[in-house]
Structure 1
C-alpha cells in the first residue's frame, strides 16, 4: 500500500508539472506580479539611456508569461522584502536572481532555471597578487549582505584558510554588488564576490578594470520563487519553462546574454528533476 501511495504521489507531481493553464484566480486577473530588483546585470537592470527594464530574468519572465497567455507585472522592491511580500500576497512570485537554498524552501518553492556560483574577483591592477583562491586568506573581501555569499564565504574560509593554519578571510557585507565594486576601486577592499553569471557582463562593460580569480567556490541553482500555498502556479510555470526548453526559446535567451554555460537541461523544482 505504501509503495502504491508513493507511486501515486510521484505521478501527481509529474502530471502537475505538465498542466499548461494558469490557475483560474490568476487567469481572471490577466497578470501575475513578480518581484524584481534591477541592480544585478545581466540578470536584471535598467538601460542607462532609456531606463527600460532589461536582463535575462526579464526576458525569461516575459516569455513564460506569454506562453501562459497572461502578462507579467514587475514589482520593484528590495531583495530583503521579497519573501515577506510573497507570503503576504503582495506579489505572486519572485524572479530576481534568487538562489534556491534549502533554508528558503521552508517558506518557498522554486522552479529552477539556471546554475550559478560565488566567484572571487579583484581589480585588474592587483591580479598578479591572486594566483590561487587561497591567496584571499587574510584579505578583506566584499559581497552583498543581502545574498548568501557572506555565509558561503565564511564557510569556504573555515575549510580552506583557518583549517590549514592560514588567516581567515575578512568578509565585508556591502549594500550590493555595485557598492562592493565601488569599494574595490577605492582600495578599501582587496577583492569581491559576485555570482559567476554576472562577471562576464561586468568585464565587457568595464574592460581592463577587473580580473576573475579561479573558478566559482560554490554551486547553486537560481530559481523562480513561489509561495507554499501556490503549487498550481508553480507547476504552471514549470510546464511553461519546459515548453520554452523544448522550443529552443530558452536557449535563445541564454545565448543573448552569453550564459549558455549556466543553462539546465531539464526542469527542476526545489533542486529535483521533474519528469
Structure 2
C-alpha cells in the first residue's frame, strides 16, 4: 500500500469511528463542557490522590476519554450519591458517571448506557479468617455496607435464600455512610464483614497487604451504567456513539486493563441492562 492510500485508509477509519460535538445537545456545545456527577470515594473507580487531591480512577479515565471523543471537556461535580438522580433530572448536572448500578428502580427516572459488569462481594479482615471461611459463616453476623447503594436489599435477599431458608439466623445488615465508613467499622470490630462491588475488593486487598480477604464469589451480577435524564436522549445517543468508538479503537479495554479489571469490560453496547439493538 502506498503512503497516499495508507493515509486515505487511516482518515476513513477515523471518520467511521469518531464522534464530533455535532451529536451533542446545543447547551453542551455552547458551554463547551459536560457536567458530570461523581462522588470520589470508591477506589479504584473514583477517588482523590491523597498527595495531589487529583481525581483518579477508572470512571475518571473513561469519562475523560468519552468527552474527548465527543470533542468537549468535563467538569466533575462532587455530589452526594443520594442526590445524584435529582441532580440529573433537574438539570443541575448533565449525567452521572460514578459507579452507579443500573437497576429497574433507577430506570423510573434515568436511562443507562452500561459500561461494565459488577456484583456485590462479601469481604472481611484477616483476623476473621478462622471464623469466616465461607458465605454460610456470615449467617447471624453483622455486615456493613453503604445504605445509599443496592447492597442492603441485595444482601437481605441473599440472606433470605441462604440463611433463613435453611434455618440459620439472618445476616444483620448494617447501613453505613459509604464504603469508607463500612471499612472503618470493620476495622474497629463494629461489624464482622462488609460488602462492596466486586471491582473494588481486589483493589483493597492489593492496597493493604494481609488486611482483607474476599468471602466467596460475587453474589449478584449487575451492570454499572452512565445515567442520563430520560428526556435527554440526544446526549445518551451521543455517548452510545462515543463508547462504540472507544471499544472499536481498543482504548476502552486499555482503560480496564490499567486497573486490572479486564473481566469487568463489556463486549458490546448495553442500554438499561439489555444489549442494544
Shift of 1:102: 0.5
- Partner SS state of residue 258, structure 1: coil
- Kept after mapping to 1: 8 A contact 2:102/2:272: yes
Shift of 1:125: 1.8
Structure 1 gap ranges (5+):
1-17
**After the TM superposition, which segments of 4 or more aligned residues of structure 1 sit over 3 Å from their partners?**
none
Shift of 1:24: 2.4
CA distance in 2, matches of 1:193, 1:182: 13
2:138 matches 1:136: yes
Change over 3 Å in CA distance of 1:257–1:19 after alignment to 2: closer
2:122 aligns with: 120
- Kept after mapping to 2: 8 A contact 1:19/1:235: no
Structure 2 gap ranges (5+):
1-17
Shift of 1:22: 1.4
Counterparts of residues 35-46 of structure 1 (less than 5 Å): 35-46=37-48
Shift of 1:196: 0.5
1:182 aligns with: 184
2:203 matches 1:197: no
CA distance in 2, matches of 1:95, 1:186: 31
Question: In the TM superposition, what whole-angstrom CA distance separates every residue of 1:111-141 from its partner, at most 9, and x where no partner exists?
Answer: 0000100000010121232222111000010
Aligned mate of 1:54, from 42, 53, 56: 56
Question: In the TM superposition, what whole-angstrom CA distance separates every residue of 1:226-257 from its partner, at most 9, and x where no partner exists?
Answer: 00010110010011001000100001100111
Counterparts of residues 51-130 of structure 1 (less than 5 Å): 51-130=53-132
CA distance in 2, matches of 1:89, 1:127: 48
Mean alpha-carbon deviation: is it higher for 26-35 or for 100-109? 26-35
Aligned mate of 2:150, from 148, 151, 155: 148
Counterparts of residues 161-180 of structure 1 (less than 5 Å): 161-180=163-182
CA distance in 1, matches of 2:243, 2:171: 39
CA distance in 1, matches of 2:265, 2:171: 31
Alignment TM-score, normalising by the size of structure 2: 0.91
- Kept after mapping to 2: 8 A contact 1:158/1:168: yes
Aligned length: 258
CA RMSD of aligned residues (A): 1.1
Shift of 1:273: 1.2
